Structure 1
């Protein structure tokens, strides 16, 4: 099930496949800890919803969602994406989720992020990549900065999570080529 699309030293990125719906991937969006800072975990995720998502995403022309797989054991550990691709304005939103928590904090998210952002700039010819994250999600803020993104602003009380409204911090990076 390799089907490598992009790769680095420790990970490779591949298209999501229907077989992923048979793995722990289905449970990521039901995991309170995995979804602590994102907009997921509001509705139950199921195998059927996951199959529908994979089918829709793989036929999309404005969204590239890739499975992050650890080379050492070929485990699907997260997803990274360039979504809401706007070919006229030449920009897209970056997102990442590390679903297998025992792989967090090991640099895999950074490797995957670099791969997909370089692909967005060099193969999709995008000019700007942006992301937003909860003001409480310090690890995502650090990742955005490590990727060369600059903080661009704050959306006040833009997400309702855990019984409260939380600010969203916005980040962006411009292709310097």
Structure 2
């Protein structure tokens, strides 16, 4: 499965071979991992190989975001998929900073939301992010998500406690936005 998402970009299943490219370097870049737990602890290749093996279970859908010239530039996924509750947690990371602010995260997310609602039969897709993560908040809102709550002083981030803002999107809201 490879699916075009925007001119020059596509998504495909994330593969263990992806860690042989720029992937591991993203976790050493504190700007890339600023809002992620990945950048807080140093891990080696073996850790990420094990991590990838756990991602490729039925409770996760992880896609690589690929640029036609630059290759693997990010990941996007649905995590903790619950067949019983029909929900999943949304996450995205554009690791190659040359592709920030180009709309690629939003383009990939739209395809992923369709996959979650249409193929996985989810009722709700949600995410949480640091209140200071303006880009993720913008993305969540652009996808039609609603702010659902706040976990106060939940993250220790750059020397201060930061709230986590929770967002969610229901299938009916997603369908309505599709027209």
Higher deviation after alignment, 13-22 or 143-152: 13-22
1:43 corresponds to = 41
| Contact 1:66/1:81 (8 A) holds in 2 | yes
Structure 1 CA distance, aligned partners of 2:93 and 2:108?
11
CA RMSD of aligned residues (A): 1.3
Residue pair 1:7, 1:115 contacting (<8 A) in 2 also: no
Aligned with residue 159 of structure 2, among 141, 157, 163? 163
1:125 paired residue among 101, 115, 121: 121
2:6, 2:104 within 8 Å by CA — same for their partners in 1? no
How many residues are treated as equivalent by the alignment? 172
In the other structure, the counterpart of 1:113 is 109
Corresponding residue number in structure 2 for 1:84: 80
TM-score, normalised to structure 2, is: 0.91
Residue 67, structure 1, aligned to residue 61, structure 2: no
* Partners of 2:128 and 2:44 in 1: CA distance: 26
Q: Give me the whole-angstrom Cα distance separating, in 1, the residues matched to 2:44 and 2:107.
A: 29
User: What TM-score does the superposition give when structure 1 sets the normalisation length?
Assistant: 0.92
Moved over 4 A (4+): none
Asked if structure 2 preserves the Cα contact closer than 8 Å seen for 1:135 and 1:169, the reply is yes
Which structure 2 segments of 5+ residues have no match?
A: none
